[in-house]
A and B are shown apart, each in its own frame.
Chain A
Amino acid sequence: MKLVIDNRTVEAPEGTTILDAARHSGVAIPSLCSHPELTPYGGCRLCIVEVEGMRGFPTACTTRAEEGMTVRTVTAEIRQLRREVLQLILSEHPASCLMCEEAEACASFQTTIRKAGVTTGCRTCTNDGRCDLQEVVESVGLEEIAYPIYYRNIPVEKDDPFYDRDYNLCILCGRCVRICQEVRMNGTLAFKQRGRRTTIGPAFDRSHLEAGCEFCGACLSVCPTGTLGEKGRKWAGAPDATTASACPFCGLACDLQILARKDTIIGTLPPDTGTCSGGTLCVKGRFCVPEAANHPDRLAGPAARVEGGVLGVPMEEAIQRAAGLLKGVEGGAFAMLLSPDLSLEDLWVAGRFAREVMKSDRLASTAVEALGPAVGPFLEVAAGNRLADIGESDCIVAVGADFSYGFSPIALRIMAEARSGRRYIRVGAIEDPTAKLARESHPHPLAQESAFLEHLIASAHRPLFVLGPDVLFPDNAEAVLAAVRNFTRSGRAKALALLPHHNLFGLAALLGDTLERGASALLNDGAIRVLYCLENLPGGPRPAAVSVIHQSPFRPPASSADLVLPAAGMGEAPGTVLTLDGQPAVVRQAVGPRGTALPDWKILSAIATAMGRTDFNYADAGEIRREMPPSFALKPLRSLEGQTRGPAAAPPANQPFLLHRRPPYESFRGVALNALVPGFADLLPSGHIAINPGDAARLGTTDGDIVRVEAGGAAAEFPVKPSPRLTPGTLVLIHADPSARFPSNPCAVNLRRR
């Protein structure tokens, strides 16, 4: 298709807009509300053009380019109208700095106070220099604003986690609303009010948390102004380096860009182009990386327990001390705790270290153990994972999958399928953002699991079960998984198991056959002399081992370690992981390791070398990778023999709530994410009873009130957290010790206000 733009004949594919056609041919038309990922809007009115044969001034972003069209993007009248419209936009946006004579000097020398609580101009705006509006003002070339400035004087909204909202800066381009509704299919954001009072936010003055926001940050990514500001990097300034890497927080290992400034991670963004994970991060990938990477508990150097206290030591000395502690310890006297967050390279070297140097195969992981006895069959199902199955099935059944704050790319694919008419069924306790598109929603089956699942897929030809981590924790998890496994074995259905850890697949593939199940048993095993921990131990009494070596990016729990070795954290070392469909994903180094920290494989290699080995002299991660087998097959963790304990079918009348418990499996190197990232604790707090807001109101409780949970003879007290994600009658408790105090999971309980 050919059309003429500003007297030049340009080529454009069918169906593009004039704006796209112009941009592809190098003609810049200013615009603020348009965005390549979003449907045309036509709100800002800056991209007005003249089209021969059309009345008035159509907007380039909403007008389809047509064969033979003649478009003019710059005429005297268009230029004048654009300047007027831009002035109108700026009259609602504190932008006096744009017109200030000292703007440049001010930016360079910061003669004004920067960390102001209220944005009064560009120099006090967190987005200064990264603002589409500033760019447009420059390209249009505005020198003055002929209109008075309206300041909306709306208090800055700071109550929700992760980002602040200063709607005094909003130009109402609607990008955030559209990405929330169109791309994320969430709908938390909408326009409110009308006329001069028009603003943006959840309806009925709810907080974002109450409105079901996933805190995916998509709105921030597209905001052309400083209205939406990431709490974590509001004042960090523009990044000086951007590294394409992978998210460290679950088995999807979504592509993301790590933003760094002065060798410090300041944030993450979705990748520019999208595949499955493109632009679709969840709250963990979007906001949690910098907070976890820069956590105060990060280790900057080694330390050793000495008589009378703990002593910081140089790395070389720490390596020697480690070698000394390990000398003469062999076989069953040595045990190693691995983390499913370690890269394949780290795991490979750790495996070699344990087996070849220490002659021990006592390997375990508390993070894997926390997933419960059903993790074996879960991984067995996961061995058949294929992401493409989502698009190829005619019925998707999600079991135990909570898509609120994780696995967003999967959720978005499922929702896209459901929206185009695919049958989607949910089974689980949580009302997540996909619920509104589900044909049916069911609670977790308490008995007759196989028949129940069979019934759901009765009319489907190519059903797909999507198993979330929450499927692992009910007492009958193994029965549910056995039923799914039977479907997949017989070819009746496919399954996709969502792995909650970064490299759980890699851990199982490399070391699954030797992994011991009872990691916590190692803590009390008197036969072990040295316990080498690559993940944080749970707090509590010191392990029975004579010596404990702690190697992690994070400080160990108090007094549990004899030697502390600082490992590189996320984004600080290159490596490879296996994503949940068995494909390798590359993790790149964005910044240098903190302090004297080293990649885990480097520390282990150094210790091996110090112990006299000569075959641990890897130059880099790539060399380790070359030593590893070229492909990986999953090794079963454990044979499928589950004892199922089915709790009573319906909650009795005096115990009207059904309490589901699960561990805080969102973790990194053994540290729960809600302990690392305060904002994440607002979303999924540990040790709180999450309850439907209506139920909470009926009980007369509000956020933080203590309630007494009674089940049969057992009782315990917890604070409550009303959450719109809970259906009436359902409670969820995230608790580190899932077996604690209640006879079954889920468990019928009664709730009383204390």
Chain B
Amino acid sequence: MTDFERLKEQSIREWTDLTGGTRAVITLGTASCGRAAGAMAVRRSIEEALAKHGVEARILEVGCIGSCYLEPMVDVTLPGGPRFSYGNVQPAWAERIVASHFLEGKPLASKVVGHFGRDAIEGIPGFFDLPMFAPQVRIVLKNCGFIDPENLHHSIANGGYAGLHKALQKPPGDVISEVEAAGLRGRGGAGFPTGRKWRFCSEAEGEMKYVICNADEGDPGAFMNRSLIEGDPHAVLEGMLIAGYAIGASRGYVYIRAEYPLAIERLKKAMAQMRAEGLLGEGILGSPFSFDIGIKEGAGAFVCGEETALIASIEGRRGMPRTRPPFPVQEGLHGRPTVINNVETLGTLPHILRNGAAWYRGFGTEANPGTKTFSLVGKIRRTGLIEVPLGMPLRKIIFDIGGGTLKPFRAVQTGGPSGGCLSEEFLDTPVGYESLAKAGSIMGSGGLIVMDTDTCVVDIARYFLDFIQKESCGKCTPCRVGTRHMVEILERITGGEGELRDLDKLQLLAQTVKKTSLCGLGQTAPNPVLTTLAYFRSEYLQHIQERYCSAVVCRPLLEYFIIPEKCTGCQRCVAACPTGAITGPRAEVHNLDASKCIKCRSCYEICRFEAIAGNAIQIRSGGGL
């Protein structure tokens, strides 16, 4: 029996002992999303409830299963029974959930959202049959939400390191061929074929080569990489080992932003366990292959996600991109051939090696095989982390998985600040590298921000550009200065001072920045502006010509007024107004002096929720009103 088989056997024993139906297990999602929603408080109340009722259960902390909108999530599995899932659990529910399961022997019907049992259960849907999950295909996220991410054995029992074990039986060239055959493309956004990148690097001359895991996830609204590392760090680390073996590297780095403390902690624990089990260091799994990994924490610069800036940062220099070529596969870290792969790319590799290229090609499309994770956020009912086969239309993702928007759909932003805002007419676009690029956006690393009619796309373009402008490293002129001029023009437009010729200026600047910037950050920075100019030009024109913001977002274009018929004169708004713009005696219709109003929204909020009649204060846009 090989080292790995022994390790696997031991792992399966441990896993079966936990999940084989002999123990009560309470599973708790404690990734960052769960913690932010209060998972740790829920854990305490569950422990109290267990103690109170004198029952025992193993509490298993797992990563995010994907339905972030349901966090905190608590799952209960009794010996022999299926696992029942509860969403948005409040600490106060803990006692009832525990009592219901442990004392009454049945789930708390009013709160349960789904079950993971093999057979149907009356009145409770299967968790993966829920509309959010039914269209998904979980490959990378397979273990997220199921295993204890801090337990190497859990990973191995669920297929972890089998891909590495298989890879080590083959010559490195065959491993590259396998990845090439699978057609895996870089999940960081650009979609460069991973196998080809490896081939270049393995053919580059040099004794010392490096593998870098790019975990500098910085797009606003994107959290795929964080969730994966928090939920299944071993998938990513195994991917690094496979990449290292394939290209002949002996050293790797995880470049991860310091704002991800939990992910960093879990990586460190995972690496310590790997080292203890011979999966890291000299002679991995008894093979001649040696590999070690270091963690480099980024100091909070968005541009460090760009690979040459990332390399500079690891080398201790200022995170500042340089021109390519030479590409990192030729001259990378410390001038040596280096492969930089995204977290998700690396996390996919073990599955490809384990199940084969043909299996992987069974998902997605010919040019875009496999699955892609997205963080689905914005004005959407079901936010969370999803994984879908490539080629799925945006409409299906947004309306079936995401449950659609509360107000009418307006736009979807793909690819973060480098991506574009797509309008309704693009909803049937299948998600793929080429199709999104053709629409003027990019796939990006997987942020999907959905907007409804409450979102002003001009303001969104301004927001993303402002983000880029502030994160520009300042090295090249167009990105540093050009984006700044663009932001100021957009600020003029959202500020009600735009002129028609500003649109031409914007277009010209956008083209200059796109064509002459040094790195991808600058080259893609104008995308939000270019796409909104193309698809939402009417909104720009409304802002400029009518001083009208249909989403009622751009403050200088708004006007507050009181509907006399509704106002009961309760004076709540008078008290709330910080500038004394609202006046009026009790029980008489109040007066709002627009010249004093700073549009702070205090009166609007208080009237909606606390005033006697309510909704007497309205906000409208458009100078003529």
Give A residues with C-beta under 8 Å from B. 40-45, 48, 56-59, 62-64, 81, 84-85, 88-89, 91-92, 146-148, 150, 171-172, 174, 190-191, 193-196, 198
Contacts and interface: CB of A to CB of B under 8 A. Distances in A.
B499 to A, nearest CB: 14
A92 B480 CA distance: 10
A48 B516 contact: yes
Contacts of A43: 475-477, 518
Contacts of B477: 43-45, 85, 88-89, 171-172
Contacts of A92: 481
Interface in B491-535: 505, 508-509, 512, 515-518, 523
Contact of B484 (A44, A57, A150): A150
Contacts of B482: 88
Given A48-B516, A59-B323, A198 B474 contact: yes
Interface in B161-210: none
Contact of B474 (A58, A91, A194): A194
5 contacts: A59-B518, A84-B509, A88-B482, A148-B485, A194-B474
B478 A88 contact: yes
Interface stretch (B266-274, B282-290, B465-473): B465-473
Contact of A45 (B320, B322, B478): B478
Contacts of B512: 81, 84-85, 88
Nearest to B469: A195
Given A45-B478, A57-B515, 14 more contacts: A42-B322, A42-B476, A45-B476, A48-B516, A59-B323, A84-B509, A84-B516, A89-B477, A147-B485, A150-B484, A190-B318, A191-B318, A194-B471, A195-B474
Interface centre among A58, A85, A148, A198 (most CB of B within 10 A): A85
A287 to B, nearest CB: 28
Contact of A172 (B323, B325, B475): B475
B488 interface: yes
B518 A195 contact: no
Judged by DSSP, the binding face of A is: loop
A190 B316 CA distance: 13
B47 to A, nearest CB: 45
Interface centre among A88, A89, A193 (most CB of B within 10 A): A88
Contacts of A59: 323, 518
Contacts of A148: 485, 488
A619 B475 CA distance: 59
B388 interface: no
B478 A172 contact: no
Contacts of B471: 194-195
B514 to A, nearest CB: 9
Nearest to A64: B325
A191 B320 contact: yes
A-B pairs, 10 with minimum CB distance: A198-B474, A62-B323, A88-B481, A84-B512, A195-B470, A42-B323, A45-B516, A195-B472, A43-B475, A88-B477
Nearest to B319: A194
A42 B474 contact: no
Interface string B70-103: 0000000000000000000000000000000000
B301 interface: yes
A612 to B, nearest CB: 72
Contacts of A41: 475
Interface residues of B, number: 32
B469 A196 contact: yes
A484 to B, nearest CB: 37
B349 to A, nearest CB: 28
A249 B144 CA distance: 71
Contact of B485 (A91, A171, A190, A191): A91
B261 to A, nearest CB: 23
B301 A63 contact: no
Interface string B447-491: 000000000000000000000011111111110111011001000
A198 B473 contact: yes
Contacts of B323: 40, 42, 58-59, 62-63
Nearest to A63: B323
Contacts of A195: 469-472, 474, 480, 484
A81 B303 CA distance: 24
Contacts of A62: 322-323
A194 B476 contact: no
Contacts of B474: 172, 191, 193-196, 198
B491 to A, nearest CB: 12
B318 A85 contact: no
A136 to B, nearest CB: 12
A193 B471 CA distance: 10
Contacts of B509: 84
Nearest to A89: B477
A404 to B, nearest CB: 24
Contacts of B325: 64
B473 A194 contact: yes
Contacts of A190: 318
B477 to A, nearest CB: 5
Contacts of A150: 481, 484
Interface in B192-251: none
A200 to B, nearest CB: 10
A172 B485 CA distance: 17
Contacts of A48: 516
Contact of B480 (A56, A58, A81, A196): A196
Nearest to A198: B474
B480 A172 contact: yes
A533 to B, nearest CB: 54
B226 to A, nearest CB: 23
A44 B505 CA distance: 21
Nearest to A171: B477
Contacts of B472: 194-196, 198
A241 B523 CA distance: 47
A467 B471 CA distance: 49
Nearest to A90: B481
A447 B474 CA distance: 54
Interface string B289-328: 0000000000001010000000000000010101101000
A638 B530 CA distance: 82
A89 B481 contact: yes
A271 B123 CA distance: 89
A89 B474 CA distance: 12
Contacts of B469: 195-196
Contacts of A91: 481, 485
Contacts of A44: 476-477
B475 A174 contact: yes
Nearest to A86: B477
A92 B303 CA distance: 22
A150 B483 CA distance: 13
Contact of B516 (A85, A147, A172): A85
